[in-house]
Copies of this chain bind each other. A is one copy, B any other.
């Protein structure tokens, strides 16, 4: 099967890193296309950046969909996920949505984000998905992606420290690495922390593969019924 993975920002180095990571975990039968739009912000650091990134990403997905079996949007805020689903009929998987639904099956989870300004948005996403009762906390690492790249040992140490605090103070059983700069650390971190550590991109890819294999996709059916409060 052919899976299209889109990094919504225009950073080629980030796309390359994502490709290397996913090539290592994909099903043997999967052909991966990992790419990014030609236009848009080089990094998504605000709601306004995200709004700028969505239209070129949607154009890319619409153009490429006929040559693929499923799409993964590889940014932890799942930008444009709902919109893409209205444009194409193949499955579209968001790394946040798919990884949080898996995390919810494994235990109470804490999401690690890079910056504290992102914390309220993450809590809102979890509420929107209906998974608040399984959320232990959202904790910022207070390290930027560039810092993590420049000093991976420091990044690992910081994750271990904040993850241990999440376990001790918030009752976390599962840690979700909520930003791209953290990719590839999951297995080692899980062992070191004694907790389940989830790297979202591989989960999204595996979910896309599962959907294709089972012949499932989002529904194209509009909802025709009048909805009363409480019925949605």
Q: Which residues of A contact B (CB under 8 A)?
A: 25, 27, 46-48, 50-52, 54-55, 58, 80, 82-83, 86-87, 93, 97-98, 101-102, 104-108, 116-117, 119-120, 123-124, 126-140, 167-174, 187, 190, 194-196, 198-199, 202-203, 206-207, 210-211, 213-232
Across-interface contacts of A170 in B (CB, < 8 A): 225, 228, 231
A213–B206 CB distance below 8 A: yes
A203–B195 CB distance below 8 A: no
A221–B195 CB distance below 8 A: yes
B218–A196 CB distance below 8 A: yes
B167–A224 CB distance below 8 A: yes
B206–A210 CB distance below 8 A: yes
B102–A223 CB distance below 8 A: no
**In the complex, what's the smallest C-beta–C-beta distance from A45 to chain B, in angstroms?**
11
Across-interface contacts of A224 in B (CB, < 8 A): 116, 167-168, 171
- Whether A213 touches B25, Cβ cut-off 8 Å, given contacts A120-B232, A227-B171, is yes
- Whether A130 touches B134, Cβ cut-off 8 Å, given contacts A206-B210, A219-B107, is yes
- Whether A210 touches B210, Cβ cut-off 8 Å, given contacts A55-B51, A105-B98, A128-B128, is yes
Q: How far is the CA of A50 from the CA of B105 in the complex (A)?
A: 21
